[in-house]
Amino acid sequence: MLLAALLVEALVTLWPSGLAITGHEGDLMHMLDASLRMVDGEMPHLDFMTPIGILGFAPVAYWIWAGFMVGKATLLANMSMAVFMLPAIWWVGASRLSFGQALFFGLGMIALLTSLVFGGAVPTISLSMYYNRWAWAVTFLVLMVVLLPARRDLAENLVSPLLVGSGMAALAMLKMTFFVPLMPVVILLMLARKQFRLLLKSLTIGLMVGLALLAWLGLDFFIAYFENLLVLTGESSGRSTPGASFSTVVASPASLPGSLVLLAGLLVFRKSGMMEQGLVFLLLAPVFAYITFQNWGNDPKWLFFIILYIWVNLPSADKKTLLGLPARQSLQVLMVVAITALFPSAISILTSPLRAAFSSTEGFVRVPLSPPGLGDIWLPEARMKNAIITQPMQGMPAPVPLVEPLVIDGIGFPECRGAATAIPIPLAMAKEVAGLEFTRDRPVLTADLLNSSWLLADVTRVKGAAPWYYGDNSGFEDAEFLLVPVCPLNVDMRRQMVSNFEEAGYTLKAAYSSELMGLFEIVKPAQPDRPLDR
């Protein structure tokens, strides 16, 4: 059944020759930057800065290396993850769940792994933040193994620790914001359930995987990974809270139904004498809240696991809970509430491959990637051709206090930003830079969130630069020119990068200016005033 579902999903997903997406092209450029760097032999953390683990880009990079265009390579990466995890998904269902539960779990996991949208209630088609969906799928797999007792012994003593140990190692190499909060809770849950052998074996397998990765990637790789993660904790990162505030994630009108399900489930389980299940809800509530808070979009995908966990642990009809209410019916009501809360996101995730497969490219234009042979991704014409900017007006209220205009070597830059998509203005700037003879074969860094010029025109890439800028000094040593947009995607990051150059003792010498940008030659100091963050 699961294999048939995966084959249908593969046919629907991979059939179109081109991929028409409708949003999040900034994340698309971020993913392509990192993946294409890997295709060219660069390593995450060592050769370019990113807080996302190597597993977040390696599957896409592999398929691009194999000769596929970038859109098809991303779809194949999704399918590869689903194929790779399918035996484990089947094993969890066969060993721990009824047929209906196993079908629900299996189909949900396949949909999560192969979706073409981050989630949410908007019917967008995008290639954004797929690594978050992969990490949620691995998280659910680990929790199912740890928290649900085996109904059938299918090599339980061998497979369970293999899935838990390797699953946690995969999260560490995929997204640390999943691994860090989940790891101690998984250990506590195994201790509380007296799964001492499972804990010991899982830790051993996880350590073995870690040592193998250490031998393969080297100690410097992991030191650089840790340093990249530290950058995000700084005030200048601009990415410590990628979405809504923590209180909004927990208690906003959209989030409250899910939060109430966790709280009510905890009370019902505890008051009906199911203390272990109540403990599970108590320990997982902050983990799920934090992971959701750290993922852009703040999509409560964890409700998928909660629905299944309640379903598996429905008590007998005679158990009572608060005020003498029947515990079974109370939990069934909570399941309905959780399904209702998850429904918009679930429908968006389930239908996204169909929307992509049957969408027309009429009214769309191909993203002009460089070199041209890589591009099989289309965007709505309006998003590619409409370049709009926003800026505060002097003397009028503004979202943030007006600051002194940025001035570099006599050239002033207003406090405006590009309010259109992440491609039209960067594309125009990249073409402009590519037309300047004196920049040929000389690396150009962009003072903005994205350093995408080399993806859009014949502009030399800066070794070590961050595909998504987090406020550090990545790429400074290798850059020869700094491209400063008049209206960047993020004004704060533009100012942060320029400030970092000045603080490190570099001189920015005006070389070219236009209505779109200023281009500055970077004059390097003999000895930087302070060590560079790499």
Q: Average of pLDDT values for 410-429?
A: 85
What average pLDDT does range 453-473 have in this prediction?
93
Distance (Å, whole) CA 123 – CA 75: 18
Q: Are residues 183 and 283 in the same domain?
A: yes
pLDDT digits (tens, 9 = 90+) for 505-524: 999 999 999 999 999 999 98
Q: What is the DSSP letter of 435?
A: T
Residue 330 lies in a domain: yes
Same structural domain, 163 and 49: yes
pTM confidence score: 0.93
Considering the domain architecture, whether residues 485 and 342 belong to the same structural domain is answered as: no
Half-sphere exposure of 445 (CA within 13 A, CB side): 28
Listed ranges 326-340, 351-365, 418-432; the one with the highest mean pLDDT: 326-340
Structure tokens, 522: 């970077």
273: left (phi over 0), alpha (psi -120 to 50) or beta: left
Reported as a pLDDT band with limits 50, 70 and 90, residue 375 is: confident
Alpha helices in 218-274 (DSSP H): 219-233, 246-251, 256-271
The three-state secondary structure class of 68 is: coil
Tell me whether the omega of the peptide bond preceding residue 371 falls within 30 degrees of 0, making it cis. Answer: yes
Q: Is the pLDDT of residue 81 over 90?
A: yes
- 166/183 Cα distance (integer angstroms): 12
Check residue 288 and give its pLDDT: 96
Residue whose token pair is 């979706």: 115
Tell me the β-bridge partners of 510.
Answer: 520
Residue 4 covered by a domain: no
- Give the end of a domain, one of 315, 335, 357: 357
- Supply 425's token pair: 């203005």
Answer whether residue 534 shows pLDDT above 50. no
Measured between alpha carbons, how far is 132 from 140 in angstroms, rounded to an integer? 12
Asked, for residue 394, whether it belongs to a domain, the answer is yes
- Higher pLDDT, residue 249 or 412: 412
Query: Are 349 and 407 in a shared domain?
Result: no
226-262 pLDDT, tens per residue? 999 998 876 655 665 676 788 888 888 888 898 999 9
Please check the confidence at residue 390 and state whether its pLDDT lies above 90: no
> For residue 47, how many C-alpha atoms fall within 13 Å in the half-sphere facing its CB?
17
Q: Are strands 19-20 and 377-380 parallel, antiparallel or unpaired?
A: parallel
By the 10 Å C-beta count (0-12 exposed, 13-18 middle, 19+ buried), 397 is classed as exposed
Domain that residue 487 falls in:
388-523
Give the separation between CA 107 and CA 335, rounded to whole angstroms. 18
Q: Are residues 111 and 182 in the same domain?
A: yes
Distant-in-sequence, close-in-space partners of 477: CB < 8 Å, separation ≥ 6? 464, 524, 532
For the segment 333-346, the average pLDDT, to the nearest whole number, is: 95
Query: Quick one: 154 and 254 in the same domain?
Result: yes
In the chain, pLDDT over 70 holds for what percent of residues? 94
pLDDT at 276: 94
344 inside domain:
yes
Contacts 24+ apart (CB under 8 A), 527-531: 528/504, 529/503, 529/504, 529/505, 530/503, 530/504
Separation of alpha carbons 514 and 516, rounded Å = 5
Contact between residue 431 and residue 457 where contact means Cβ atoms under 8 Å apart: yes
Cα 412 from chain centroid (whole Å): 35
pLDDT at 190 over 60: yes
pLDDT at 420 over 80: no
Overall number of domains in the chain: 2
The DSSP output letter for 513 is E
Pairing of strands 406-408, 411-413: antiparallel
Residues 416 and 458 in one domain: yes
Residue bearing the bigger pLDDT, 402 or 46: 46
pLDDT band at 363 (very low <50, low <70, confident <90, very high): confident
Candidates 376, 382, 345, 369; CA nearest to 20 is 376
192-231: pLDDT as tens digits: 999 999 999 999 999 999 999 999 999 999 999 999 999 8
Q: What is the CA radius of gyration of the chain?
A: 25
The answer to the question of residue 325 being in a domain is yes
DSSP 481: E
Q: Where are the alpha helices (DSSP H) in 47-155?
A: 58-65, 70-96, 99-114, 130-147
For the chain, give the percent of residues with pLDDT over 90.
Answer: 66
Q: Residue 362 falls within a domain, yes or no?
A: no
Residue 130, pLDDT score = 93
Same domain, 337 and 450: no
First to last CA, the chain: 48
pLDDT above 90 for 358 = no
Domain shared by 394 and 267, yes or no: no
**Quick check: is 349 in a domain?**
yes
Based on the domain organization, do 185 and 105 belong to the same domain?
yes
Give pLDDT, residue 322.
Answer: 76
- Quick check: is 381 in a domain? no
Whether residues 140 and 222 share a domain: the answer is yes
* Cα–Cα distance list, 269 to 148, 168, 195, 307, 308 (Å): 15, 28, 21, 14, 15
Is the same domain home to 311 and 447?
Answer: no
Could you write out the DSSP letters of every residue in 129-159? SHHHHHHHHHHHHHHHHHHS--SS-SSHHHH
